[in-house]
Amino acid sequence: MPLMALAIKNQGMSITNFEELQKRVIRRMYQEAHSTGIAPDLWKQEMQDFERAIEMGTGLKFSKVKYDTPDWEMIQNLRYNTAVYDAFKLNKQNKELYKLLTDEKGKQRSWKEFKEEAEKVTNQYNKVWLQTEFNQSHQSANQAKRWNEAVNTADLYPNLEYIAVRDDHTRPEHEKLHGAIFPIDHPFWNKNYPPNGWACRCTARPTDKALNEIEGLTFDKDDPFATNVGKTSKIFTDDHPMVKEGNKTEVLKFIARNIRTVAQIRSSFRTFGKFKKATHKQIYFDGNTGGFYVESLKHKFDPVTGKFERKTAKILAKNGHQTELLADVYGKKNIDLNLNNLPTEIKVMNGERNILNRAKTAAKQGAKRVVYYINFENEAAMFKRFESVFANVPEIKELWYIRKGKLNKYAKRNPK
């Protein structure tokens, strides 16, 4: 049995089936022919698998870990690292799919021909490689947690012992490391702490046994696994070919729009803390996204739609947005929301008919963005009305909508 298959069998883990999503990505490429970019829907779904791997590896739940604790910092950094890596990978996949639009002679492929070739690429990226990356993330997250625990008990167990799984699948170079014992602060662990390769099953355990500094070991190796995930919280290093050879400018712009670093989440928490009890209620802070929801004590909720305003604010915060329900001032045109420093109106819709009129009202109130809370099913009619907003209300720059509990951003389909 191949080593990777053995690892999957032993760990009982499998990735999500992305077949339908892959079909959409392939269809979209054939219709739109984008040579650059990252499929955001596929990235979001794959990130759910990476997050699951991290949770399984560490035994910690993102939703349960207390904000700004060592465990919180560790899993946030692990998640950010996998997010960046996956964006690089999907950016490369996009480029490969784009090249397949034409054959070796430069002639455009038919839909059938393109689909057949494209499925080979997406299966490789989103099945074979993703399963490998999932397993690697699980093992690396587990070793990161073990490192933190070892550091915390170093006064009792000052050394670490390298342990290889010794069977027919063990790599010779890992077998050589078995039984090596070094102090936890020894340089050896900077580049030899497990995992030391794809599907590596090695570990390191705290011990107070005597040192066993095996002769001939190389402390300073140079490969994508020459790191200590416990110290760096990087499952995939900057030396990984997928990262090293990728379009950093394009990927990092995408990442900046979709996930926050630990430093950015902490900065958002400081902003959240500036809203004082004398003027606001601090309702909610999300330690995973950095989003928050506060209410002015002078904000007046509509007796019918007020509950949807609260739901909207909470969903926005969970999606990483800084959300302040503003004060109502008598005699003035009041705005519902300061959303990421842009005046925003919330409009609750039980049907599509008044979408345009509600946008006009929002514009008169001074809004630049409208967030619609949708309570009806006709999506096609909704999109048609959204287009009419862009055509008739130039003051409104952005349309967002919440449907079935999920936040979406509507992009203008036919920009002039």
Nearest Cα residue to 203 out of 168, 179, 225: 179
Q: State whether 360 and 313 are in the same domain.
A: yes
Q: State whether 76 and 146 are in the same domain.
A: yes
Q: State whether 249 and 383 are in the same domain.
A: no
Q: State whether 253 and 289 are in the same domain.
A: no
Both tokens of residue 73? Answer: 């910092």
In angstroms, the first-to-last Cα distance of the chain is 58
Q: State whether 355 and 286 are in the same domain.
A: yes
Specify if 359 maps to a domain: yes
Specify if 90 maps to a domain: yes
Q: What integer pLDDT is reported at residue 14 of this predicted model?
A: 83
Q: State whether 365 and 293 are in the same domain.
A: yes
Sort strands 342-349 and 337-339 into parallel, antiparallel or unpaired: antiparallel
Q: What are phi and psi of 19, to 5 degrees?
A: -60, -45
Q: State whether 25 and 139 are in the same domain.
A: yes
Quick check: 312 and 346 in contact, CB under 8 A?
yes
Q: Final residue of a domain: which of 210, 229, 258?
A: 258
Q: State whether 86 and 125 are in the same domain.
A: yes
Q: What are phi and psi of 367, to 5 degrees?
A: -75, 145
Domain assignment of residue 17, given as a range: 3-151+242-258
Specify if 8 maps to a domain: yes
Q: Final residue of a domain: which of 208, 223, 258?
A: 258
Specify if 367 maps to a domain: yes
**Sequence-ordered list of residues with C-beta below 8 angstroms from that of 43, at least 6 positions apart, any chain:** 83, 86, 87, 90, 254, 258
**How long a stretch of residues is the chain?**
416
Residue-level pLDDT, tens digit, the chain, 416 residues: 344 444 444 444 788 888 999 999 999 999 999 888 999 999 999 999 999 999 999 999 999 999 999 999 999 999 999 999 999 999 999 999 999 999 999 999 999 999 999 999 999 999 999 999 999 999 999 999 999 999 999 999 999 999 999 888 889 889 899 999 999 999 999 999 999 999 999 999 999 999 988 776 665 666 788 899 999 999 999 989 899 888 999 999 999 999 999 999 999 999 999 999 999 999 999 999 999 999 999 999 999 999 999 999 999 999 999 999 999 987 777 899 999 999 999 999 999 999 999 999 999 999 999 999 999 999 999 999 999 999 999 999 999 999 999 999 997 654 33
Q: What integer pLDDT is reported at residue 24 of this predicted model?
A: 94
Q: Final residue of a domain: which of 225, 258, 291?
A: 258
Both tokens of residue 63? Answer: 């939703």
Q: What integer pLDDT is reported at residue 414 of this predicted model?
A: 44
Quick check: 137 and 48 in contact, CB under 8 A?
no
- The CATH number covering residue 282 comes to 3.40.1350.120
Q: What integer pLDDT is reported at residue 217 of this predicted model?
A: 65
Specify if 192 maps to a domain: no
Specify if 116 maps to a domain: yes
Strands, sheet with 292-296, edge to edge from the N-terminal-most edge strand: 280-285, 292-296, 322-325, 337-339, 342-349, 369-374, 398-403, 406-410
pTM, 2 dp: 0.89
Both tokens of residue 69? Answer: 């604790």
Give, to the nearest 10 degrees, the angle between helix 262-273 and helix 70-99.
120
Distances (CA, A) of 161 to 48, 180, 202, 209, 267: 33, 6, 11, 9, 39
Into how many domains does the chain fold? 2
